[in-house]
Amino acid sequence: MAKTIMITGATSGIGYASALAFAKLGANVAISGRRADRGEVAAAEIRNLGGKAWFKATDVRDAGQVQAFIDGAATEFGALDAVITNAGIEPPHVLPLSELSVEDIDAVLETNIRGTLLTAHYAIPHLRRPGASIIMVSSLWGRQGGALLAVYSATKGASESLTRALAVELGAEGIRVNCVAPGFIKTEMSDRFTEGRDMQAYWDANVPLQRIGQAGEVADAMLWLTSDQSSYVTGQIITVDGGQNIKMSVAGL
């Protein structure tokens, strides 16, 4: 029987790569994103790869929209097997905390923390069966912190705390909760840091595997965490960063 996977923020980057990875396994994939045009393209590609797709334009800051997306996905496909709370943003400007506008700070907090909490809140009733799972998305910067990344780092640290709390809260029901923490991954978001810079010297100095990661490599971790092969894994933060967390420096960025 095909699994049903729900992914927020799935019209680009890691969310999109994960949606396609599940599609290749024949999954039912419910996806959300703010842009309807990108969502329809993503849904079409999911179908092309052998999965079933359902898309709804959703702003995860809006409780009503989040509930409508999750309830709609459950109506379309039935009970959910896994929920991936991938939707997240960074401030539009790479600046010290004291120089960011309050509006920019609020937008990141509301998307990354409120959006994640709302998604879990509305999804849990549809996950109440053994074997179901929730996957949060953190970041290397949520684990280590990073200069010019104070707000983003704080929100991703919150995702890790929520992962552990829900793993305890839901464990007796057989629902597993884990988190994936990517490092530098080739996405539109990371391009803001890397564009126009000679990054190879940075990879050589700070990443044991000496390269940037690909979104599909993070998707592989998502596949494993939703599979029977990880059935005794919960409350864990799986770092996918080429080893950067053990050889960490932000010098030169």
- Assess contact for 178 and 235: CB atoms under 8 A: yes
Q: Which of 16, 122, 152, 202 is catalytic?
A: 152
- Name, in order, each residue with C-beta under 8 angstroms of 38's C-beta and a sequence gap of 6 or more: 11, 12
Phi, psi of 128 (to 5 degrees): -75, 70
Residue 16 annotated in active site = no
Give the DSSP H or E segment for 71. helix 63-77
Strand order in the sheet with 82-85: 52-57, 28-33, 4-7, 82-85, 133-137, 176-182, 237-240
* Residue 195 near residue 252, CB atoms below 8 Å: no
Instruction: Tell me which residues are annotated as active site.
Output: 152
